[in-house]
C-alpha cells in the first residue's frame, strides 16, 4: 500500500521534570532537533501531527507552529491514551502513503509535572449538603465504586494482567516481575536521556514501597516531562536527497494500530494482551520479519508486570515462557533479544504523549549506529510497542538502510 516511508530525522529531549520550560519549549526542542537531524526545514514539511494528552483540547500543534514555523500546512492534534505518540507518527506516515505529502513532522510532547498516575480513587461525595443515594450512570451506582468494587486504575490493571499471566503459566511470580525492573534500571545507567539513571538490586526493588502488588514503587514508571519528534519522508522524495541523508534514513517496514477486539473478560477489566498480540502478528506480516530477526525491542513497560506479559504477546519467548525468558537473561542488553536498552518507561520516564515517538528515536538511533555507550552492535531491525488503556496499541518495525 503506497510507497515506503522512512524516518529521515529524529530527536528527543531528556525526560525529566522541567520547571524552567513549558510544553511548547519541549516540543520545539524536539521538532527543531529532528528537522536539523534530517537536514531539512519546516518549509519542507507537508503535514504536522502533534500528540499530547494533558492539553488535548488546546491546539498544541498550532501553538508549536508559532515557534517552529507557520507554513499553513495541515495540523492534526492527536490524543490516543499512551499510544498518542505512535498515533501521531502513524498519522504522518499515512498522509505520505496517501500521496498528500512527501515529508512530514510527527511530535509527541507532554508536561506532567507531579501529577500522578498512582493517585487515589475518585470520591463519591456531591458536596451539596444532603446525601441521598441515587443510582447514576451506566452501572446505576449510588457512590464511587473505584476501590469498592475492584479497581480500574492503571497500577491495578497492569498488576492484575501480570498476576493473571502468573495464574496461567508456571515459573512466574514476584521474583520474575522484580527482575524486569532490575534489568531496566541497570540499562538506564547508559542512557543520558533517561529521567533516572540508577541501578537497584533485586532486594531493593522487592523491598521498595508496595504500590499495587506485585509492583513496588521501583516497578512503576515515574511521571515526567519531555518530547520526541521524527521527520518522515516518502521513498521517492528520499531518493532525491543527499547520499548521507539516504544512508542515515531508517525504513518503517511496519506500522500498525489496533484497539480491543471483543473478549468476554475485557468487559470488566481492560485486556492488554489481545490487541498487542494482534498488532504484533500484523506487524511481522507487514515487515516480512519474525521476532527472531529483532536486534532490539522498546516495549511499553509502564509497570514491570506489563513488560513480562508483552514478552509473550510480542512472541519474544515461547508461549507461556516469559518467566524463563527473564530468568535466562534473554531481554538483557547482551541477551537473545535486548528489551528496553533505553531503560524503558521504568527508568527513562513516561511523559505520556512523547513515549510513542521516543521509542522510535531509540530504535532508529541504534540502527544508525549512533547510540554511543548503549549501542547494540550491528543492530539492523528493531520493534517499538506502546499501549494505552482503553485501549490502543501501536507497533512499528524499523530497519536500517541497506548499504
Residues 6+ apart with CB under 8 A from 176: 308, 322, 323, 326, 327
Options 97-105, 149-157, 198-206, 317-325: segment touching another protein (CB under 8 A): 149-157
Q: Determine if 176 is a binding residue for another protein (CB under 8 A).
A: no
Cell numbers describing residue 226? 519531555
Q: Determine if 275 is a binding residue for another protein (CB under 8 A).
A: no
Among 46, 156, 222, 343, binds another protein (CB under 8 A): 156
Shortest Cβ 149–another protein spacing (Å): 6
Q: Determine if 213 is a binding residue for another protein (CB under 8 A).
A: yes
Q: Determine if 148 is a binding residue for another protein (CB under 8 A).
A: yes
Q: Which residues between 126 and 145 bind another protein (CB under 8 A)? A: 130-133, 135, 138-143, 145
Among 1, 19, 120, 128, binds another protein (CB under 8 A): 120
| Residue 391 burial (10 A CB sphere; 0-12, 13-18, 19+) | buried
- Closer of 131 and 198 to another protein (Cβ): 131
Q: Determine if 281 is a binding residue for another protein (CB under 8 A).
A: no
Q: Determine if 292 is a binding residue for another protein (CB under 8 A).
A: no
Shortest Cβ 212–another protein spacing (Å): 5
Q: Which of 183, 182, 187, 173 is nearest to 205 (CA)?
A: 182
- Closer of 53 and 166 to another protein (Cβ): 166
Sign of CA dihedral 395, 10, 29, 349: positive
Task: Go through the chain and tell me how many residues it has.
Answer: 403
Sheet architecture: strand order including 392-400: 75-78, 48-51, 103-111, 225-234, 5-12, 250-259, 392-400, 381-388, 296-298
Q: Determine if 166 is a binding residue for another protein (CB under 8 A).
A: yes
Q: Which residues between 89 and 118 bind another protein (CB under 8 A)? A: 118
Shortest Cβ 273–another protein spacing (Å): 12
Shortest Cβ 178–another protein spacing (Å): 13
Shortest Cβ 147–another protein spacing (Å): 7
How many Cα atoms sit within 13 Å of 387 on the Cβ side? 30
Tally Cβ neighbours within 10 Å of residue 145.
16
Cell numbers describing residue 374? 548503549
Q: Which residues between 183 and 212 bind another protein (CB under 8 A)? A: 209-212
Shortest Cβ 340–another protein spacing (Å): 23
Contact assessment for residue 358 and residue 16, using Cβ atoms and an 8 Å cutoff: no
- Closer of 42 and 211 to another protein (Cβ): 211
What CA–CA distance (Å, rounded) separates 81 from 56?
A: 11
Cell numbers describing residue 387? 499501549
Residues 6+ apart with CB under 8 A from 124: 143, 144
Contact assessment for residue 8 and residue 233, using Cβ atoms and an 8 Å cutoff: yes
Residues 6+ apart with CB under 8 A from 139: 145
The pattern of x and - marking residues 240 through 269 that bind another protein according to CB under 8 A reads: ----------------------x-xx-xxx
Tally Cβ neighbours within 10 Å of residue 76.
17
Residues lying near another protein in the complex (CB under 8 A): 118, 120, 130-133, 135, 138-143, 145, 147-152, 155-156, 159-161, 163-164, 166-167, 174, 209-214, 262, 264-265, 267-269
Amino acid at each position: 500500500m503506497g510507497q515506503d516511508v522512512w524516518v529521515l530525522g529524529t530527536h528527543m529531549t531528556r525526560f525529566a521534570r522541567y520547571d524552567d520550560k513549558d510544553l511548547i519549549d519541549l516540543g520545539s526542542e524536539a521538532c527543531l532537533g529532528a528537522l536539523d537531524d534530517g537536514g531539512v526545514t519546516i518549509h519542507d514539511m507537508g503535514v504536522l501531527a502533534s500528540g499530547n494528552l494533558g492539553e488535548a483540547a488546546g491546539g498544541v500543534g498550532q501553538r508549536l507552529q508559532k515557534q517552529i514555523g507557520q507554513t499553513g500546512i495541515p495540523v492534526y492534534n492527536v490524543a490516543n491514551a499512551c499510544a498518542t505518540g505512535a498515533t501521531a507518527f502513524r498519522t504522518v506516515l499515512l498522509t505520505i502513503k496517501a500521496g498528500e505529502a512527501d515529508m512530514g513532522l510527527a511530535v509527541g510532547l507532554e508536561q506532567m509535572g507531579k501529577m500522578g498516575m498512582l493517585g487515589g480513587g475518585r470520591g463519591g461525595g456531591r458536596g451539596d449538603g444532603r446525601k441521598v443515594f441515587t443510582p447514576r450512570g451506566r452501572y446505576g451506582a449510588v457512590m464511587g465504586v473505584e476501590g469498592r468494587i475492584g479497581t480500574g486504575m492503571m497500577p491495578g490493571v497492569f498488576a492484575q494482567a501480570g498476576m493473571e499471566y502468573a495464574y496461567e503459566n508456571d515459573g512466574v511470580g514476584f521474583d520474575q516481575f522484580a527482575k524486569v525492573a532490575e534489568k531496566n534500571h541497570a540499562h538506564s545507567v547508559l542512557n543520558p536521556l533517561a529521567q533516572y539513571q540508577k541501578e537497584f538490586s533485586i532486594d531493593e526493588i522487592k523491598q521498595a514501597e508496595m504500590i499495587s502488588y506485585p509492583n513496588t514503587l521501583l516497578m512503576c514508571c515515574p511521571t515526567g516531562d519531555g518530547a520526541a519528534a521524527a521527520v518522515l519522508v516518502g521513498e521517492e522524495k528520499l531518493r532525491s536527497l543527499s547520499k548521507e541523508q539516504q544512508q542515515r534514513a531508517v525504513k518503517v517496514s511496519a506500522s500498525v494500530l489496533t484497539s480491543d477486539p471483543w473478549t468476554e473478560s475485557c468487559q470488566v477489566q481492560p485486556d492488554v494482551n489481545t490487541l498487542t498480540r494482534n498488532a504484533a502478528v500484523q506487524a511481522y506480516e507487514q515487515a516480512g520479519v519474525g521476532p527472531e530477526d529483532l536486534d532490539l525491542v522498546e516495549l511499553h513497560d509502564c509497570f514491570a508486570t506489563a513488560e513480562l506479559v508483552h514478552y509473550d504477546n510480542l512472541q519474544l519467548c515461547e508461549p507461556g515462557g516469559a518467566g524463563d525468558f527473564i530468568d535466562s537473561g534473554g531481554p538483557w542488553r547482551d541477551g537473545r533479544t535486548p528489551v528496553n536498552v533505553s531503560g524503558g518507561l521504568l527508568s527513562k520516564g513516561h511523559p505520556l504523549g512523547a513515549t510513542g515517538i521516543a521509542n522510535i528515536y531509540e530504535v532508529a538511533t541504534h540502527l544508525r549506529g549512533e547510540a554511543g555507550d548503549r549501542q547494540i552492535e550491528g543492530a539492523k531491525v528493531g520493534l517499538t510497542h506502546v499501549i494505552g488503556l482503553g485501549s490502543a496499541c501501536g507497533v512499528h518495525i524499523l530497519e536500517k538502510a541497506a548499504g
